[in-house]
Each structure stands twice: as C-alpha cells, then as structure tokens.
Chains A and B, each alone.
Chain A
C-alpha cells in the first residue's frame, strides 16, 4: 500500500471533495472544495472522478513524502513553486513521486487554494457520503480536522502511465458577478449601488465559513434583525456593522442577517481564490444570465477529461516555462528550458 505522508503543512489545509449535500434541513452544511473547478482539474489529471476527495492546500507552503511505493498526483488551483526532490513540477499537470521522494510546495501565488489529487483517490470512511472535513461537526476522513504534519493519506501504488497536463481557460480578474436577493428589499437602492460601485477587500479574519469584506458600511433600511432563513454558498449577508460577509462552504445552513445578494455559481471558485487584502469588485447580473453561466460552468467541468494533453506537447513547455519564470526563485527561463523534454 502506498501512502502520501504530510511532512509539513500550513493552516486551512484539509481533505475536501464535492461535499455532503442532503442534510441541510438538520443544520449540516455540505462543506466541500472552495474552488470546484480546480478540484475537478486536479482529479482529472490523475483519472479520478471530478469531485473525488483531494487535499485542499491553504495559502502557505506544504510538503508530502511518498512511502510504501510510488504515488502519482495532480496539481491544480493557485500555482506555487513546486518540485519533487529538486526536479521542478508545473501546476495543472500530473507528476509521480517515487518511494521516499518529497513534493515541496511553496506559498500560493495569485490565489489562496491549491488542490493535490492522488491517483486512485484517498482512502477513508465516507460520512454522509463524503470525506470532506467539517471540523466543527466532527466530520471528515481520514482525519476529521485540518491536516497536520505526520498525517498519512493512504492510496494505491502509482499506475506508471504517462504524465499529462490540463488546458484550462485563462484565469481572469473580471468583477465577481452577483444576483441581488433574497433580501435586497431590506436595503435602499443607494446601498445596493454601494455594493456594486465600491472596491472591496477580503479581511484576513476570513475562513472556510465566511469571507469578511472590508469596504464602505452597507446600511439596512430597517435594522439588521431578520428571521433566520436558509443560506447558500455565496450568500452575501450584512450584519449590524454593515461589513458584508460572503458565506463559504463551511457556512451555517441558516443565518439571521439580511442577505443582499448571492455570488453566482460560475464565479464562486474564482471568488474563493481571492487572497486576503487584494481588491476586487462586484457586478450585478440577472438571474437568467447567472443560470446561463452556471450551465456553461457545468459544461466546462464535464469537458475537463477532453482537455488533458500529453506532457511532451509544445504547449506544456510554454506553461511550465512561464510557471518557472513567475516563480522567480533559482529557476531562470533558461534553467527551465534545460529540464524540458523537447523544445521544438
């Protein structure tokens, strides 16, 4: 039996998958990956189901060592300096750790969360159909808590098939799209305009439960007490101090502050990746537009297996080269070229 041993890891790192919907009526939130597209991309790279359990790695560095045999992994999401025993590894591609080798990951760049999927998946006991960690509810497997060094992720030996990369749409910094409601009538038009016209920052006190926003105070028409009702991923609730909180996958299933708007499904993962302190804007769209984008997003998820490319393709070298370049650490563009297989 192969396993990946966590040799070092920062906070906000846990095993996540597609989550456990179905028990929200008892207050059990589904949890699951912050950025589903990146989770699905990482899984696709190693031939897993799109939303299988993988390691969601927070903004800080991490390292993993293969024991008991080789382990094949897929890396996606916020890119980082990455190497296996000094051999550079590109994001959005697969790689194999030989027995005893260590995968080193630096700090997240241009995002908050990276996903490390393991070929054949992570072994664990599903609870309510999911391995996803929900620490407050005591759920998650193999560990019902964020990962710590020394933890072991059991899997099967690497298949030894050729490595590959995945071609994803270019990332963008466009405004995060929202649909007003369900309680936008608790706010004056000027307050709604303030939400879409202002620059916002994610507070450092944010977590998988909610992202607190820093910006102008959004005033309520009629106080901040409403009767608690149901929430969704991306609900933008406004407590008494007027500083919005965007609810994330470990949110409460209900909340008692008015919800002025909701982040659309297609932009939720991109929103989750915005690092603390970085500025962004919201843009309101209609429900019809949001649903059209949701349908496109689901189509994109389903298309991931068709986006796999061989590692020797020219495109990979460009990607890897750019990645190595951005890393700005020891690896120059020329160095990067020397480890490429075949530069035409």
Chain B
C-alpha cells in the first residue's frame, strides 16, 4: 500500500452533523476506512461530538454547533482520517437461518422473473454469498451486508412498501440485508429469518456489530416456526461459527 489514501469528502448534513464520505459506492476498503476513523475518534475524541454513525461508505458525525463549527470539526476529522490505520480486529462469523420464498419471501418469484431465472437459482446464489456487516441502520438491528454478487443486483422499488415483516431478508440495489423489526422498505423480500438482531432485555440487546461476517443457510418453514419460538424466548438462533 504505497499509494497514499485520498482524503474523504466532507458533506454538511444540516447544521449539527457532518458526513465524512470515503466513497460513493460500496467497497470494502472504504467501509474499513469508515470503521477505522470511528475507532480513531473513540480513542482521540473531538470536543463537541455527540455521536458517530458508521455506514457503508461514510461516517456520520453528530455534533453540537454551540461547541464546534462545521469548518473546525471538518479540519479535525480530516486530520484523524489521514492517520486512521485501517487495521482489522478479530472477525466474528455468524450463520443465519432463512426460509426463502412463499409467504416468507413474497418477491422471490418476481425477482427470479426479472433476472430471467428460477426462484431456486436465486436462493442458491443468495445462500452461496459470503457477506459482511457493513453497517447497521434505518431501524434497530437492520443490518446492511456487503458482498452481494452482481447477478443479484436489482434496483429498489420505486414506491417503498409501508410495511414489511420482522426478520425479512431482502435485496435492494447492490445490497442485501437482515431486517429485524416490521417496517417500511423499498427492497425486494426474498425470505425471513427467526434471528432477532435487536431484542430488548436480552444480553446483548444488539446481536451484530459492523464488520461481522455472515453466511445464510436455507431452512424449511417448520424449522423457522420452531426457531422463531426459541428466538422469542431470548435465544440467538444464529450460529456463531468462529468467535
């Protein structure tokens, strides 16, 4: 890595937050730089920062404009980004059960049609993927995964659905994701998992961390129902393959 890293772009998100953007597309190197900058800020705090939110390609930094201006925080963030070493920490790998198609994944057939293939092929390709939690966002536990193969890239729906089920496994654009709670989504619904990535009164409340590795395994509807009950009682159901 002799080539110097290009500095991130600083974009205003209103008067109390700044987006530090490393890339406009999903790329793992940019995502690692996001997480590295987040670690540097945790180690060397900037007065006025109230909260940081790592996402795929940028770090959203919430701050108090009474304490620090846009220009001043931008300068400090650039200095930290320049020295951020994109070192990796130990990667956890989870295996997450999914029931694909039918009532569990109402868009599977349409996605197969749009891609001129069969639902089984879509499932086989989705299960074969080696994914990484690039970010958690939107609603509690909604985990956005990088690593979706190009064949499965489908544009988001033009009109987002107002309600999609808890545990939905979906694809949207170049991303795939694990949705924890019922809620709106513009993505295509392939299946459902009984895993709760967010569950109150469970330790930990949030199961996944950005940077975790994920693979999916297809299970039938009966297994889903059994695991759903176990998960409701506080079990992870997701299998930790490597700690």
Residues of B within 8 A of A (CB): 11-17, 19, 21, 24-26, 50-58, 60, 62, 65-66, 69-70, 135-142, 144, 155-156, 158-160, 172-175, 180-184, 186, 198, 200, 205-206, 210
The 5 closest A-B pairs by CB, nearest first: A230-B60, A254-B137, A262-B14, A182-B11, A252-B138
Q: What CA separation (Å) do A209 and B160 show in the bound complex?
A: 14
Q: Are A295 and B62 in contact (CB under 8 A)?
A: no
Q: Which one of A252, A264, A293 has the greatest number of beta carbons of chain B within 10 Å?
A: A252
- Decide if A11 is an interface residue (CB 8 Å cutoff): no
- Decide if A322 is an interface residue (CB 8 Å cutoff): no
Query: Using a CB-CB cutoff of 8 Å, which residues 203-237 of chain A contact chain B?
Result: 209, 223-235
Known: A225-B173, A254-B135, A291-B69. A27 touches B57 (CB 8 A): no
Q: What CA separation (Å) do A298 and B19 show in the bound complex?
A: 23
**Chain A residue contacts of B181, Cβ below 8 A:** 136-137
A272 → chain B closest CB, angstroms: 14
Q: In this complex, what residue of A is CB-closest to B26?
A: A227
Q: Are B13 and A253 in contact (CB under 8 A)?
A: no
Q: What CA separation (Å) do A131 and B117 show in the bound complex?
A: 49
- Decide if A256 is an interface residue (CB 8 Å cutoff): yes
**Contacting A287 at CB < 8 Å: which of B15, B62, B159, B172?**
B15
**Contacting A27 at CB < 8 Å: which of B16, B56, B60, B137?**
B137
Q: Are B14 and A232 in contact (CB under 8 A)?
A: yes
- Decide if A87 is an interface residue (CB 8 Å cutoff): no
B67 → chain A closest CB, angstroms: 10
**Chain B residue contacts of A28, Cβ below 8 A:** 140, 198
**Chain B residue contacts of A225, Cβ below 8 A:** 155-156, 172-173
Q: In this complex, what residue of A is CB-closest to B157?
A: A240
Residues of A within 8 A of B (CB): 21-29, 127, 136-139, 179-183, 209, 223-235, 239-241, 252-256, 259, 262-265, 287-288, 290-291, 293-295, 298
**Contacting A228 at CB < 8 Å: which of B17, B137, B139, B183?**
B137
Q: What CA separation (Å) do A138 and B166 show in the bound complex?
A: 13
A301 → chain B closest CB, angstroms: 11
**Chain B residue contacts of A253, Cβ below 8 A:** 53, 137-139
Q: Are A228 and B156 in contact (CB under 8 A)?
A: no
**Chain B residue contacts of A254, Cβ below 8 A:** 53, 55, 135, 137-138, 142, 144
Q: Are A227 and B14 in contact (CB under 8 A)?
A: no
Q: Are A294 and B19 in contact (CB under 8 A)?
A: no
**Chain B residue contacts of A227, Cβ below 8 A:** 24-26, 55-57, 173-175
Q: What CA separation (Å) do A224 and B52 show in the bound complex?
A: 25
Q: What CA separation (Å) do A24 and B210 show in the bound complex?
A: 12
Q: Are B51 and A22 in contact (CB under 8 A)?
A: yes
**Contacting A255 at CB < 8 Å: which of B16, B136, B138?**
B138
Q: What CA separation (Å) do A291 and B15 show in the bound complex?
A: 5
Q: What CA separation (Å) do A299 and B34 show in the bound complex?
A: 34
Q: Which one of A25, A137, A225 has the greatest number of beta carbons of chain B within 10 Å?
A: A25
22 A-B residue pairs with CB within 8 Å: A21-B62, A25-B51, A25-B52, A25-B53, A26-B141, A182-B12, A224-B156, A227-B57, A230-B13, A235-B13, A240-B156, A240-B159, A252-B138, A253-B139, A256-B173, A256-B186, A265-B15, A287-B12, A290-B15, A291-B69, A295-B65, A298-B66
Q: What CA separation (Å) do A256 and B15 show in the bound complex?
A: 21
Known: A181-B13, A259-B13, A295-B65. A27 touches B198 (CB 8 A): yes
Known: A25-B52, A136-B182, A265-B16. A295 touches B135 (CB 8 A): no
**Chain B residue contacts of A26, Cβ below 8 A:** 136, 140-141, 198, 205-206
Known: A136-B183, A255-B138. A228 touches B14 (CB 8 A): no
Q: What CA separation (Å) do A290 and B12 show in the bound complex?
A: 11
Q: What CA separation (Å) do A256 and B69 show in the bound complex?
A: 27
Q: Are A27 and B138 in contact (CB under 8 A)?
A: yes
Q: What CA separation (Å) do A138 and B50 show in the bound complex?
A: 24
Q: Are A228 and B144 in contact (CB under 8 A)?
A: yes
**Contacting B139 at CB < 8 Å: which of A27, A262, A290?**
A27
**Chain B residue contacts of A27, Cβ below 8 A:** 136-142, 180, 198
Q: In this complex, what residue of B is CB-closest to A139?
A: B200
Q: What CA separation (Å) do A240 and B155 show in the bound complex?
A: 11
Q: What CA separation (Å) do A136 and B163 show in the bound complex?
A: 11
Q: Which one of B14, B50, B58, B136 has the greatest number of beta carbons of chain A within 10 Å?
A: B14
**Chain A residue contacts of B65, Cβ below 8 A:** 265, 291, 294-295
Q: What CA separation (Å) do A224 and B156 show in the bound complex?
A: 9
Q: Are B70 and A291 in contact (CB under 8 A)?
A: yes
A3 → chain B closest CB, angstroms: 25
B27 → chain A closest CB, angstroms: 10
Q: Are A25 and B136 in contact (CB under 8 A)?
A: yes
Q: Are A234 and B14 in contact (CB under 8 A)?
A: yes
**Chain B residue contacts of A290, Cβ below 8 A:** 14-15
Known: A27-B139, A293-B15. A230 touches B53 (CB 8 A): yes
Known: A241-B159, A298-B66. A256 touches B172 (CB 8 A): yes
Q: What CA separation (Å) do A190 and B79 show in the bound complex?
A: 35
**Chain A residue contacts of B159, Cβ below 8 A:** 239-241
Known: A179-B14, A264-B14, A295-B66. A229 touches B136 (CB 8 A): no
Q: Are A228 and B66 in contact (CB under 8 A)?
A: no
A231 → chain B closest CB, angstroms: 8
